[in-house]
Chain A
Amino acid sequence: MNEQEFGRTLAGHLNRGLTQINRDALDRLGQARERALAAYQEPVDVPEMALSAGHGMLSGRGRARKGRYAYLLPILLLLAALTFAFYWQSAPLDDNIDDVADIDARLLGGDLPIQAYLDTSMDSWLENSADQ
């Protein structure tokens, strides 16, 4: 008889031994199982949990399991706040960038050559022209 066969044969005898457990122990095992099952909580989806937690709907059997995920709510709120702050900070910056880009486009796309804006004599000529 090899190791596997020996193991299975012994397992068969051990299974037979399960019928010899005394009634008191069996009753106590049943009670232990009931207690364990009383602690069972239906698994819930995180979004559902977050919503129900926000509306104070935690109750009964779902309390412990939902409470386990309750730490996600502040994290989600923090992420939302960070996203909003980032958007709020970056929105005016985007406007400025757009404005600068618009000015550059107009300068480059205008009839006047770009060197004209760098030429100081051009400024003095314009001033003189305005005076006249």
Chain B
Amino acid sequence: MEKLATYQELSEFLKQVERRAFKQAMFAVHGEDAALDIVQDSMLKLSDKYAGRPAEELPLLFQRILQNTIRDYFRRQKIRNFWTMPLSSLFSGGEDDEQDPLETMQTESGSSFLQDPAKSLESSQVVELIEAALQKLPARQREAFLLRYWENMDVAATAAAMGCSEGSVKTHCSRAVHGLAAMLKEKGVEL
């Protein structure tokens, strides 16, 4: 018989995963409040609906819930925008508010990390550039990349969490890596 997750195991798991989950949500929705709401909803769903599952299933279940909650957020946003956009477009001046985080980020062409990447790897600026590049990736590519390399899931688990085929995961990951490499190279970051 499978050993079910205890309160302590669930607590440890949530503590271990909460920051990465928050960042994942941030990369997707670009807002701290929305990201925190998404993480809280995901934790609640896991605890309420799936705490009776074995502890080793929690990472996959949580990722699945998290990705679905992010998708739900965008669905709600889409519906909200459907009603609010026509009204707001009447009053807006038509400027494009979309900003590229990589464009607005201060890279300081004379900074040390651009000249000496080995030293700059510790710099928080590199982290910020990587996070900004991740935000620019298409959602599915970012999702696949983060699950595979940040959450250390294998291809099969990633496919299960994303609800797609293993082939799709490989394709998304490959494209994500090439996209990230190109964006970081453009900013002068060589890993």
Contacts and interface: CB of A to CB of B under 8 A. Distances in A.
A40 B174 CA distance: 38
A95 to B, nearest CB: 43
Contacts of A11: 149-150, 152
A87 to B, nearest CB: 32
Given A16-B127, A43-B52, A65-B52, A33 B7 contact: no
B39 interface: yes
A33 B18 contact: yes
Given A14-B131, A21-B19, A40-B10, A6 B39 contact: no
A25 B131 contact: no
Contacts of B168: none
Contact of A10 (B7, B10, B149): B149
Interface string A6-28: 11111101111110110001101
A4 to B, nearest CB: 8
A32 B40 CA distance: 5
B149 A35 contact: no
A37 interface: yes
Interface residues of A, number: 34
B70 interface: no
Nearest to B41: A32
Contacts of B15: 33
B41 to A, nearest CB: 9
B48 interface: yes
A25 B18 CA distance: 11
B112 interface: no
Interface string B14-40: 110011101100000000100010011
A39 B4 contact: no
Given A8-B149, A11-B149, A17 B131 contact: yes
B131 A7 contact: no
Contacts of B47: 36-37, 39-40
Contacts of A6: 177, 180-181, 191
A13 B181 CA distance: 14
A41 B18 contact: no
A109 B166 CA distance: 75
The 9 tightest CB contacts between A and B, nearest first, are A7-B149, A36-B43, A32-B40, A43-B52, A17-B127, A36-B47, A39-B48, A18-B19, A39-B47
Interface of B: 4, 7, 10-11, 14-15, 18-20, 22-23, 32, 36, 39-40, 43-44, 46-48, 51-52, 121-122, 124, 126-128, 130-131, 134, 145, 148-150, 152, 173-174, 177, 180-181, 191
Given A33-B18, A37-B11, A39-B44, 18 more contacts: A1-B191, A4-B149, A6-B177, A7-B145, A14-B150, A18-B23, A26-B19, A32-B18, A32-B36, A32-B40, A32-B43, A32-B44, A33-B15, A33-B43, A36-B14, A36-B46, A36-B48, A39-B48
